[in-house]
Structure 1
Amino acid sequence: MVRGKVKWFSDEKGYGFITPEAGGDDLFVHYSEVVGEGFRTLEEGSEVEFDVVEGRRGKQASKVEVVGQ
């Protein structure tokens, strides 16, 4: 798994971007890839762990979990 921080996330739109800790381009994240029950969202600045997968428009975050929860 890779670590990073949530750059921004829109509850309205259901997606956002994560900045990888190791550097590189920000990664797209869709709410469906956030691990958890109920309403799945991410707070700006939260530290997260995730897998990087190849999506339709390039690399994106998958199986996103907030660190410490």
Structure 2
Amino acid sequence: MPHGVVKKIVSDRGFGFIAQGQGADLFFHHTSVAAPGFDQLHEGQPVEFDVDNGDGGGRRGDKGPRAVNVKPA
């Protein structure tokens, strides 16, 4: 499971970004955060996550990979 650090949280809009150390930052949505939940995350916090490359045919279009199953490390 990849690891990274929460780089930015936009709490009023329910999303954030994870710096993964190598490569582009990953977007994550509040619905992709496992317990204890989105409201418990903060900038600078180490997290682990899975990567969804967007090849599942959902509504995302070509926005690129995103973090899912995000949880504190």
TM-score bin, normalised by smaller chain: 0.7 to 0.9
- Runs of at least 5 residues in structure 1 that lack an aligned partner in the other structure: none
Q: Indicate whether 1:26 and 2:25 are aligned.
A: yes
Identity rate, percent? 42
Residue in 2 aligned with 1:45? 44
Structure 1 residue 24: Cα displacement: 0.4
Q: CA RMSD in A?
A: 1.3
Residue in 2 aligned with 1:15? 15
Q: TM-score, normalised by structure 2?
A: 0.81
Q: Indicate whether 1:64 and 2:62 are aligned.
A: no
Q: Would you tell me which structure has more strand in proportion to its own residues? A: 1
Residue in 1 aligned with 2:34? 35
Q: Using the alignment, how far apart are the partners of 1:40 and 1:15 within structure 2?
A: 8
- Runs of at least 5 residues in structure 2 that lack an aligned partner in the other structure: 55-59
Question: Which of the two has higher C-alpha Rg?
Answer: 2
Q: Using the alignment, how far apart are the partners of 1:54 and 1:15 within structure 2?
A: 17
